[in-house]
């Protein structure tokens, strides 16, 4: 930076960033997490509804889903910022973790049992598992938040890798989405054999989840 009046100069290094700061004491990353959770919940249900009820094209559907997800994310952040209702926000966080755990459960050979070919039995069992997670951890919201950030965040990385390096792990959630969209999907055999790529990405997922959870616990203690 140069001062034309005093004819002096000095090195200018910006000391502020608009990104999520892990060093900030006011929890600047909390709003980003809630936006992400709200985006997932609203985007998921909106995509199912608009796909089943309207004949619009796929590209338009994705754009509308992104808009709806953004609205859902901003709404959840607004609820937390304006009213400070932590229990509702953590309930949404826990439901997303429960959804993934329930999806993983039915991604195993358990999902191919004949009893789960019935849509009613499948969705009731799936919902019970998903709801069980926030109910169990409602007494320790901090642990629930740490687990969700570690597991969901690492799975998001896995999905990004899957876009370039095809694996079976993306079908953990895709199978649930397909079953919600297709009435005859319960007849499909969804037991996908694991290959080398799958084991590698599964190891990466586990490593990222464990390291993320460990890092958050250390930051909480420090």
Query: What's the confidence (pLDDT) of residue 169?
Result: 87
Is 110 a domain residue?
yes
| Look-up of token digits 């100069």 | 9
C-alpha 209/C-alpha 148 separation (Å) is 9
Q: Is residue 57 part of a domain?
A: no
Q: Report the pLDDT value the prediction gives residue 92, as an integer from 0 to 100.
A: 92
Overall size of the chain counted in residues: 222
Helix (H, G, I), strand (E, B) or coil at 164: coil
151 domain residue, yes or no: yes
Residue 136 placed within a domain:
yes
- Is position 214 within any domain? yes
In order of 101, 132, 149, the CA distances from 106 in angstroms are 9, 15, 22
Per-residue pLDDT of the chain (222 residues; tens, 9 = 90+): 455 556 666 554 444 444 455 555 545 567 888 899 999 999 999 999 999 888 889 899 999 999 999 999 999 999 888 887 788 888 999 999 999 999 999 998 888 888 988 889 999 999 999 999 999 998 888 899 999 999 999 999 988 888 888 788 888 999 899 889 888 776 666 667 778 888 999 999 999 999 999 998 888 776
Domain that holds residue 113: 86-222
The number of folded domains in the chain is 1
Helices (H) and strands (E) in the chain, counts: 7, 2
Q: Using DSSP, state whether 190 is helix, strand or coil.
A: coil
**Structural domain includes residue 36:** no
Separation in Å, CA 30 to CA 97, 122, 124, 129, 130 = 16, 34, 31, 26, 22
Q: Is residue 101 part of a domain?
A: yes
- pLDDT computed for residue 20 by the predictor: 55
CA dihedral for 44, 46, 50, 56, sign (positive or negative):
negative
In a domain, 56, yes or no: no
Predicted pLDDT at 4: 59
């Amino acid at each position: 930076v140069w001062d034309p009046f005093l004819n002096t100069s000095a090195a200018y290094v910006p000391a502020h960033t608009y990104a999520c700061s892990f060093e900030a004491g006011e929890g600047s990353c909390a709003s980003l997490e809630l936006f992400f959770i709200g985006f997932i919940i609203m985007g998921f249900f909106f995509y199912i509804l608009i796909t089943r009820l309207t004949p619009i094209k796929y590209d338009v559907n994705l754009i509308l889903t992104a808009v709806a997800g953004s609205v859902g994310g901003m709404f959840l952040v607004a609820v937390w910022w304006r009213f400070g209702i932590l229990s509702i926000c953590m309930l949404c966080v826990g439901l997303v973790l429960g959804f993934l755990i329930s999806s993983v459960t039915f991604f195993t050979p358990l999902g191919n049992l004949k009893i789960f070919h019935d849509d009613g039995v499948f969705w009731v069992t799936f919902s019970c598992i998903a709801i069980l997670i926030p109910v169990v951890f409602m007494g320790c919201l901090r642990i629930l938040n740490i687990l969700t950030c570690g597991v969901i965040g690492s799975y998001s990385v896995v999905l990004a890798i899957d876009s370039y390096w095809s694996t079976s792990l993306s079908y953990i959630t895709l199978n649930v989405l397909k079953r919600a969209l297709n009435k005859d999907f319960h007849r499909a055999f969804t037991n996908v054999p694991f290959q080398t790529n799958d084991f590698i990405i599964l190891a990466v997922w586990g490593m990222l989840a464990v390291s993320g959870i460990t890092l958050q616990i250390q930051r909480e203690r420090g």
